[in-house]
Amino acid sequence: MNQVSTKYMNPYLAGFLLGAVLLVSIFVTGRGLGASGAIKDTVIAVVGKVAPDHAAESPYYGPYMNAERENPMKSWLVFELAGVLIGAFLSGLVSDRLSFKSEGGPFIANKTRWAFAAAGGALFGIGAQFARGCTSGAALSGMAVLSSAGFITMLAIFGTGYAVAYLFRRLWI
Amino acid sequence: MGPFVPDPISPELNFVIALIIGIAFGFVLEQAGFSSSRKLAGVFYGYDFTVLRVFFSAAVTAMGGIMLLNFFGLLDTEAIYINPLWLWPAIVGGAIMGVGFILGGYCPGTSICAAAIGKIDALFFVGGLFIGVLFFAEMFPAWERFHESSALGPVKVYDSLGLPAGWFAFALIVVAVSAFAVTSRIEKRVNRQAPANNFRFRKHLTVAVVTIFAGAVFISLPDRKSRTIAMASSLEHLEACETSYMSSDELAFRIVDKDPSMQIVDVSDSLAYNQFSLPGSVNLQIHELFSKEWNTLFARRHVRKILVAENEQDAVIAYHVLDEIGYRNLSVLEGGLPHFRSLILNREGAVLRQDSVNSVVREFRQEAGTAIHAMIEAQRDRPKEPDKKPRKITGGC
């Protein structure tokens, strides 16, 4: 399980290209990249379909359930994240990295890894709602436009990450 | 001038663009190695700092690009989405995400990339994301107040720190390059097979030095707005360039005539504007003239834009700012609004009216004064300004 492929792109070049994609996005559409927002839109759409009465009453979903509002799935970020899925698949295809596997620290069983991955995802889902965005939408795009929100969110994510890293070192080293 | 949404790019086309940008985003993330949780988590344990390298390079590239596009007048930075700040929710949310990062080994965007190439742990992470958002939404009443607390709006980081934007940009570049250097040393110590072992020292040192020198350009790069305003206000510029004036009489005639090929732009401060304004005028501050929003107003060549202000000098500066941006068919009201008032509108103090030898002119001024007074009165009851809210692009998350 402890294998890191070395044939990745030079990180600085990748960073430059990522910055260029972000720049094009801001230049053309006026907005940066994102990810968690599309998850939010999907959750709202699903709850709206499965439990419309519940959604209409809720202070969170309620505003989105207005008949005049567009379907929450018809959002910029949903289309963008669909693109991410396609783009990453294409990249995996050309670099021969398509395979079903899990990664983690050398001393961790797959099932434990999966449980922690799900827990981490849940925390990210919650945190991104408070911070109005995740690492891409709030931190990266926010930093590019020099917003205080971007820098504060970035520092909070990585600062806390370093603060608790030692506690969970068995997961990774 | 960008951005091109909502005009000329329609919302439907924008979705296509979103998909294309997403494909590029996903492709680059995967190529960078962000589809590997082990690689991502490495940044916290020192065995792989790829995340830091990619993340910081991307942020600096995009930031620099935005500043340069703004400098050359190609991007209206007033119109782009600036993430608003809710201070405490941002800190708490960020902290929760930080723990999530250590436990999960991914962030939302990278988990989608990893899931796309078949990583099973990433699928669990994505599942967790949905559960987390659902949990947040269901429990929303419990933290609704906190979620909305300490709202500070779209503040800029350099304003928060009290630095000029250029200095902040330079400082960020220096921090990024230093962080690259320091973390590469750490990485080599921690991990013998670290990516940094493949870096050639000379080459990287050259790139670092060049980057820092290039970054220093931002210090001397005034933003286009302050540069243009400063230039337009300079005496040399005013002496070298001609200003076209319009007399109070002509303006009064055009107002009474309801001339459709004229637009009065009042650059007085809004307080003065609220006390007195000419019929049909719009109130804009000089720094607002750059906004893409007013492009359609100023770009109409057949419409004469008449710049007026309580202080004539302000109107002259606005004239040269607009001229510099490239708008044509402009005029400045000679003598400013006080002169106009005393000449046309002042009923009692007919001093200025008297020294006009021509009785026709005198009569015209009297009639025009009455008519314009009536127009101002009529306008008072109606909302004065057109919708002045800039069309902001929504974004975030």
Q: What is the pLDDT of residues B63-99, one digit of tens each?
A: 999 999 988 889 888 889 999 999 999 999 999 999 9
Asked whether B307 and B290 are in contact (CB, 8 A), the reply is: no
Q: Which residues in chain B have Cβ-Cβ distances shorter than 8 Å to A30?
A: 2-3, 5, 79-81, 393, 395
A156 with B97: Cβ contact below 8 A: yes
Calculate helix-pair angle for B120-138, A36-50, nearest 10 degrees: 60
The per-residue pLDDT for B196 is 81
In a mutational test of the B interface, the residue from A6, A13, A18 whose CB has the highest number of chain B CBs within 10 Å is A18
Q: Is the dihedral of CA B57, B60, B64, B67 positive or negative?
A: positive
The per-residue pLDDT for A34 is 92
A143 with B63: Cβ contact below 8 A: yes
The per-residue pLDDT for B358 is 73
CA-based nearest residue to B310, from B353, B346, B348, B342: B342
B45 with A23: Cβ contact below 8 A: no
B57 with A14: Cβ contact below 8 A: yes
Residue B107: which of A14, A74, A134 has the nearest Cβ? Answer: A134
A83 with B19: Cβ contact below 8 A: yes
pLDDT of residue A4 exceeding 50, the answer is no
Residue A92: which of B18, B35, B74 has the nearest Cβ? Answer: B35
Q: Which residues in chain A have Cβ-Cβ distances shorter than 8 Å to B103?
A: 116-117, 119-120, 123, 168, 171
B137 with A61: Cβ contact below 8 A: yes
Rounded Cα distance, B297 and B304, in Å: 10
DSSP letters of A52-90?
A: HHHHHHSTTTGGG--TTSPPTTSSHHHHHHHHHHHHHHH
The per-residue pLDDT for A104 is 87
Q: Which residues of B129-140 are buried (b: 16+ CB within 10 A; e: fewer)?
A: bbbbbbbbbeeb
Q: Which residues in chain B have Cβ-Cβ distances shorter than 8 Å to A109?
A: none
Calculate helix-pair angle for B140-147, A110-130, nearest 10 degrees: 50
pLDDT of residue A109 exceeding 70, the answer is yes
Q: Token pair 């069309």 is at which residue? A: B391
Q: How far is CA A103 from CA A159, B41, B321, in A?
A: 24, 11, 58
Q: Token pair 């732009």 is at which residue? A: B265
The per-residue pLDDT for A2 is 46
Which helix (H) or strand (E) covers residue B262, if one does?
strand B262-266
In a mutational test of the B interface, the residue from A24, A77, A78, A129 whose CB has the highest number of chain B CBs within 10 Å is A129
Distance from CA of B291 to the nearest CA of A (A): 14
Q: How far is CA B21 from CA A20, A84, B93, in A?
A: 11, 8, 27
Residue A4: which of B20, B39, B106 has the nearest Cβ? Answer: B39
A84 with B130: Cβ contact below 8 A: no
The per-residue pLDDT for B349 is 52
User: Phi and psi dihedrals of B331, rounded to 5?
Assistant: -145, 155
Q: Which residues in chain A have Cβ-Cβ distances shorter than 8 Å to B191?
A: none
For residue B349, the SS3 value is: coil
Please tell me the number of Cα atoms within 13 Å of A64 on its side-chain side. Answer: 23
B32 with A19: Cβ contact below 8 A: no
Q: How far is CA A158 from CA A100, A119, A128, B94, in A?
A: 29, 18, 14, 8
A92 with B136: Cβ contact below 8 A: no
Q: Residues of chain B whose pLDDT is less than 50?
A: 384, 387-390, 397
In a mutational test of the B interface, the residue from A1, A21, A90 whose CB has the highest number of chain B CBs within 10 Å is A21
The per-residue pLDDT for A125 is 96
Predicted confidence band of residue A161 (pLDDT cuts 50, 70, 90): very high
The per-residue pLDDT for A122 is 97
The per-residue pLDDT for A6 is 47
Alpha helix locations (H) across B197-234?
Answer: 201-216, 224-233
pLDDT of residue A140 exceeding 90, the answer is yes
Rounded Cα distance, B144 and A166, in Å: 32
Helix, strand, coil percentages, rounded to 5, for chain B: 65, 5, 30
> Per-residue pLDDT tens for A6-30?
489 999 999 999 999 999 999 999 9
The ipTM value here is 0.94
Q: How far is CA A88 from CA A2, A103, B72, B244, in A?
A: 22, 17, 34, 58
Helix, strand, coil percentages, rounded to 5, for chain A: 65, 0, 35
CA-based nearest residue to A36, from B134, B82, B147: B134
The per-residue pLDDT for A7 is 82
Distance from CA of A132 to the nearest CA of B (A): 5
Please give the structure tokens belonging to residue A129. 């709602």
Full strand arrangement of the beta sheet holding B245-246? B245-246, B330-333, B304-308, B262-266, B282-283
Q: Which residues in chain B have Cβ-Cβ distances shorter than 8 Å to A54?
A: none
Please tell me the number of Cα atoms within 13 Å of B90 on its side-chain side. Answer: 26
The per-residue pLDDT for B348 is 56
In a mutational test of the A interface, the residue from B54, B66, B68 whose CB has the highest number of chain A CBs within 10 Å is B54
CA-based nearest residue to A40, from A111, A127, A118: A127
A12 with B18: Cβ contact below 8 A: no
Minimal-distance CA residue of chain A relative to B24: A87
Distance from CA of A68 to the nearest CA of B (A): 16
The per-residue pLDDT for B372 is 87
Distance from CA of B213 to the nearest CA of A (A): 17
For residue B315, the SS3 value is: helix
A118 with B131: Cβ contact below 8 A: yes
The per-residue pLDDT for A127 is 97
Residue B18: which of A79, A98, A152 has the nearest Cβ? Answer: A79
B100 with A124: Cβ contact below 8 A: yes
Kindly compute the dihedral angle of the four CA atoms of residues A65, A66, A67, A68, in this order, to the nearest 10 degrees.
Answer: -130
- Comparing A99-113, A126-140, B383-397, the range with the smallest average pLDDT is B383-397
Q: How far is CA B30 from CA A8, A78, B112, B229, B237, in A?
A: 8, 19, 10, 45, 53
Minimal-distance CA residue of chain B relative to A61: B137
